[in-house]
Structure formats: C-alpha cells, structure tokens
Amino acid sequence: MDTEFARTFLAVVAAGNFVGAAERLHITQSTVSARIQALERQLGAVLLRRGRGGAELTPAGQRFMRHAKSLVRTLEQARHDVGLPAGYSGSLTLRGRIALWEGFLPQWSGWMRAQMPDVSLRLEIGFEEDIMQGLVQGTIDIGLMYTPENRPGLGIEYLFDETLLLVSTEPDRPWQDERYVHIDWGPEFEAQFTTRYPDVGPPALVANVGWLGIQQMLHCGGAGYFPQRITRDLVAEGRLWRVEESPPFSLPVYLVYPQDRRDEALQTALQGLRDLGGQEHDRNQNR
C-alpha cells in the first residue's frame, strides 16, 4: 500500500473534510478524493462518509485508523532511526505552543535527557491545528496545547492552568489605548476576555504568539495579557507592571498523545510531563 494513501486518509480525518486535507497536504481536492477512492478499492471497504458536514469515519474507517497511523509512524520511525546519532536507540518528537517553551518545556527536555540519555529528542513549535495533524498522522509523538480536539486514538490529559495577567510597560498608564497588544491565546481566552470586557472594541494590534507581543511592548510600550510565569522576571526587574484591578484569566494546558503506544521512551516522557505539570499546578495554587 502506498503510504501517501494512508497519510492522505489521516489528513482527511484530522481536517474533517477533503478541502482542509487538500490545503494541509498542498494538493488538489480531486487528488485527495482519488487517493481515498484508490485506498478504499484496495481495502474493499468504504472508510469515509461524505456529506454536507464534511467527512465522517465509517466503522471500517475507525478500524483502519490504527493501521494507517502505524504505517505512517513506521515510515517516520525508519527515517529517524536511519538518521540517529551513534549511541542512540530511539527518538521522540514533541511539538508545543511557543509560550510553553518559556520555562516549562525546557525543564522537561533537560529532565528527559538525564532520564533517557540514549533517546534523541526533536523539539518543535506549533499551533493547535498542526499539532493535532501531526499527532493524527503519527509524525509527532507528543503535543502540548491549549485547545485540543478529540480524535480517535488520542489521549488528552489536563496538566495545569496558565494564569494570564494584564501587564503594562508603564505603571500608571491606562491599558485600553492604541498600544494595547491583543494576543490570540485561543477561544477559551477570547470567551473570558469578551465576557469581562464586553465594551472593548476590536484591537488595533494583534499578535498570534505571546513572544511577539512582549517584544512589541518592550520596544514601543503598551499592555497585554500574558502568562504569569513568562512575565514574572520582567515584573521583578521593573520592566513591566501588573495592571491593578484587572482580572486574571485561566488557560488550561493539555497533553495529547497516541493511546496505542506503550514503549518505554514515550511512557517515561509522558510521566515526566505529568510530574512537571503537577509542580506547576502546585505553584499556581500557592501564589
């Protein structure tokens, strides 16, 4: 079986429709359709139901999911193993939101190198959509994000809550002005922000990652909502100030991984993330 057929099938599952799969794979929708039809002919079963709402897995498609993931994962593992440095027995790929690489995930990677020094690590930055796609397709092993989606075969675990605080480059400057930097932290943050500030109009300045927002503020001045653990040192140094009487917002962090894998490297990595997540949760509770 052509592994591209399996990869295309997984892309349709991840996107929920043929159009989204075509965009993700950078091919035409007709090519996606042709690959799925060829795959179904090879297997002698209908894998996806096409409808106005998109593409849904049939019972046969649900059973094929784990085989498709195994096919793609085997190919990816072969690529990793062939390219492993001397002395390494395996590899893991973790992809997470950029804000989680501020302090939290580097702790994990350092811990993992000490616990399993013969496992090579590939560390990546991503957004929810491409993290979920990589997990469904089997090209990454672990994802950390704020708003995961339920997908067959993937486990989702809560780790801890980010505490988002409003900070400013000037202690007494009103934050609702043209220099406010609105960060796209995802739908959960947007819902909380809109509920608390229903009269605030569309922001003039928006950034899709917190790091960009902080750099903008430090260079040009302004205010914005950011995780407390990221701005803690800047506040202590007097470069940022907490905006008094502004409400904190909560943003849960989730761990996502394939449920059908029991290899030691992955299980060790997951337990390390759970332990560090628990420590972060305890720190938040004691603040």
3-state helix vs strand vs coil in the chain, percent to 5: 50, 25, 30
Helical (H) or strand (E) element with 18: helix 18-25
Answer yes or no: is pLDDT of 66 > 90.
no
Answer yes or no: is pLDDT of 287 > 70.
no
Matching residue, tokens 């959960």 = 188
Four-residue CA torsion sign, 85, 87, 89, 92: negative
pLDDT-derived band at 79 (thresholds 50, 70, 90) equals low
The architecture CATH gives domain 161-251: 3-Layer(aba) Sandwich (3.40)
CA dist 28 and 21 (Å) reads: 9
> What per-residue confidence (pLDDT) applies to 139?
83
User: Which of 67, 107, 73 has the alpha carbon at shortest distance from 93?
Assistant: 73
> What per-residue confidence (pLDDT) applies to 159?
96
Q: Are 248 and 255 in contact (CB under 8 A)?
A: no
284 burial class (0-12, 13-18, 19+ CB within 10 angstroms)?
A: middle
Residues 62-81, mean pLDDT to the nearest whole number: 78
Four-residue CA torsion sign, 130, 135, 137, 140: positive
CA 138 distance to own-chain centroid: 14
CA dist 241 and 172 (Å) reads: 9
Phi and psi (nearest 5°) for 165? -120, 145
- Kindly list the domain boundaries of the chain, sorted by start residue: 1-83, 161-251
> What per-residue confidence (pLDDT) applies to 239?
95
The architecture CATH gives domain 1-83: Orthogonal Bundle (1.10)
Q: pTM, whole model, 2 decimals?
A: 0.71
Tens of pLDDT, residue by residue over 131-187, are 998 898 888 999 999 999 998 889 999 999 999 999 999 988 777 778 899 999 999
